[in-house]
Amino acid sequence: MSEMVTIERRAAVEHLLQNRDNMLVVCGLGSSTYDVYAAGDHHANFYLWGAMGGAGMIGLGLAIAEPDRQVMVITGDGEALMGIGALATVAAQKPNNLSIVVLDNEHFGETGMQEKPYLTWCRPCRRLPLAVGLLVVRQSMIMMFLMLLPINRMTQLVRVWPW
């Protein structure tokens, strides 16, 4: 079993976007869009404030269209859950230029901080490889955060703060 690590979301997103070169960024509605904007507006950002559940698939279409550029989706746990089937779709395509980063605050932040009344995003992540494929879950979703941390364990989970 892995330990849970909490990191500060604004700093984490800012770190992810440092030295981005020509990377394209799609961010899901709500706090993740605010996080990405707070890290500095950029012409290669596509901000969502609706179309909930669509961020990952916008990223997939973009990654296939632009195979020579890195694409990063930064979204929240609620947004990702609403389109959770997209993880299976992405895993089947295996785009090697797409990263999906899920900021898990264990709440539905945009709608009033309701608690998420079921397993946190991190827990399903450990189970998803059985159904979804290791590539997405390990490399795209979790590895991006691992790069921020002095930890090598593939199953390290990250919870973000503040909510």
Partner 1 sequence: MAVSTPHIWEDDIYNAFKKAGISQIPYVPDAGHAHLIRRVHDDPDMTPIVLTTEEEGIASSCGAWLGGKKSVLLMQSSGVGNCVNMLSLVTNCNFPFVTIVSMRGEYGEFNSWQVPMARATPTSFEMMGVEVMRCNSPEEVGPTVDAALYAAFASEQKIAILLSQRLIGRKEW
Q: Which residues bind partner 1 (CB under 8 A)?
A: 24, 26, 46, 48, 50-66, 83, 85-86, 88-89, 92-93
Angle in degrees, CA 63, 60, 6, rounded to 5: 100
Question: Shortest Cβ distance from residue 17 to partner 1 (Å)?
Answer: 18
In this structure, what token pair is assigned to residue 29? 């509605």
Closest distance to partner 1 from the beta carbon of 5 (Å):
30
Query: Of 65 and 113, which has the nearer Cβ to partner 1?
Result: 65
Going by C-beta distance under 8 Å and a sequence separation of 6 or more, which residues neighbour residue 14? 38, 39, 40
Indicate the residue among 87 and 146 with the shorter CB distance to partner 1: 87
Strands (DSSP E) contained in the chain are: 4-8, 24-27, 45-47, 71-76, 98-103, 107-108, 114-115, 157-161
CB of 78: closest distance to partner 1 in angstroms? 15
Tell me, what amino acid is at 130? L
How far from the centroid of its chain's Cα atoms is residue 56's Cα? 8
**Bridge partner list, 140:** none
Nearer to partner 1, 56 or 76 (CB): 56
Specify the residue, 91 or 103, whose C-beta has the smaller distance to partner 1.
91
Q: Which is nearer to partner 1, 16 or 48 (CB)?
A: 48
Map residue 13 onto helix, strand or coil.
Answer: helix
Q: How far is the CB of 27 from partner 1 (least distance, A)?
A: 13
The least distance separating partner 1 from the CB of residue 124, rounded to whole angstroms, comes to 15
